Amino acid sequence: MALPIKPERVEISNSARCSVNIEPPQVLDVPGGLYPLHARAYELDEYRMYKGWPVSVPRYDIRANTMVSCEGEVLANREVATEIRTGAMIRWTADDEYLSNAGLRWSPVQAETDRINWMTTVENAPVLVDYEYRVGAERFFKTALNFDSDTKNYMEADFESILGGISGYTIIMVMSPNSIFDNNVDIPYNGLLCPKSKAGDYFDLTMQGNYLWLESESTDRIRAISINPSVRASAPSYIALVMDRPQATFYVGSGPDSVRVQRFPSGKTGANMVLNMYLGRSTEDLDHTADMALFDLGIYPDRLTPGEIHDEFAILARAFGGGTG
């Protein structure tokens, strides 16, 4: 038996929601050089490093605070040699402004009276070289006037006009008794400061082995002070020669506070000396020229005291090291 079915009324309802966002146009050339950035921050779990890899924190952990100290290399920041002033009557320093290759002369950086030049020849001219050395932790780059015995380098000058009539004077040098091109060990001795003629009263200073040697018109050539540390080191030494009668005094050191002093007989009192001198060669010939790198040379018309020598070394050390910077 069929039952009658009568469907009810069907209703359908729909709803819709929407939102509108404006998408800005793509900017290819951003004004002012600004660009959008996207940053993320991450917080990592605590870890320990083991054999180069991060590992989880162990159950038992030991933490130790450690302080480490180390020594490094310091590039020297000192005064320029041409700018310092010593008490010398006349002084030369190795600088291309004062060495004329055309005139073959070395002009003084400071002079109270006559500007006396060291002169040389084309065949025998020493050369300016770049010189590197260390003093303690400091590293220096300086210019040196290099004398080499293989090329027979030397210079000459006459100091009669400024030192004539005196019986004593002082010479201070900053130098290394080593040529930058190596030394010739076959030469028995090397002239350092020698008279052009031994016809009168004179001082003759040479280098042999690890020593300075002194000779005068009335004393035989004698072994004077040792320059052994200078021979075996690249850093220059400070050398002061107080030429006096009847004793000469030599000072050698790596700085103002490490100076050795020795005195030697130098001849009769009151003698006037030959002041026409060679620098870097012997009086007799060119077979005994010097191997050395010369940084600074000063002449004083007085016989300086130990305290005055210390003060002059301290001034020079402001440029060349070995003292307080």
pLDDT value, residue 152: 96
Mean pLDDT of all residues in 82-94: 96
* CATH classification for the domain delimited by 85-320, as one of 3.40.50.300, 2.60.120.200, 3.40.50.10490, 3.30.365.10: 2.60.120.200
Whole-number Å distance between alpha carbons of 230 and 320: 14
What is the tens place of the pLDDT at every residue in 235-275? 999 999 999 888 999 999 999 999 999 998 888 766 678 89
Which residue ranges make up each domain of the chain? 85-320
Contact present, 279 and 154 (Cβ < 8 Å): yes
Instruction: Retrieve residue 134's tokens.
Output: 């260390």
In the predicted structure, residue 325 carries a pLDDT above the cut 50: no
Q: How far apart, in Å, are the Cα atoms of 209 and each of 98, 216, 225, 226?
A: 31, 20, 11, 9
Mean pLDDT of all residues in 272-288: 92
Name the residue with higher pLDDT: 323 or 325: 323
What is the tens place of the pLDDT at every residue in 140-172? 999 999 999 999 999 999 999 998 877 789 999
Whole-number Å distance between alpha carbons of 171 and 169: 7
pLDDT value, residue 2: 55
What is the tens place of the pLDDT at every residue in 23-45? 777 666 656 666 666 777 778 88
What is the tens place of the pLDDT at every residue in 179-236? 999 999 999 999 999 999 998 889 999 999 999 999 999 899 999 999 987 788 889 9
pLDDT value, residue 175: 96
Whole-number Å distance between alpha carbons of 277 and 263: 22
Q: What contacts 127, CB < 8 A, 6 or more positions away?
A: 145, 146, 153
Whole-number Å distance between alpha carbons of 238 and 291: 17
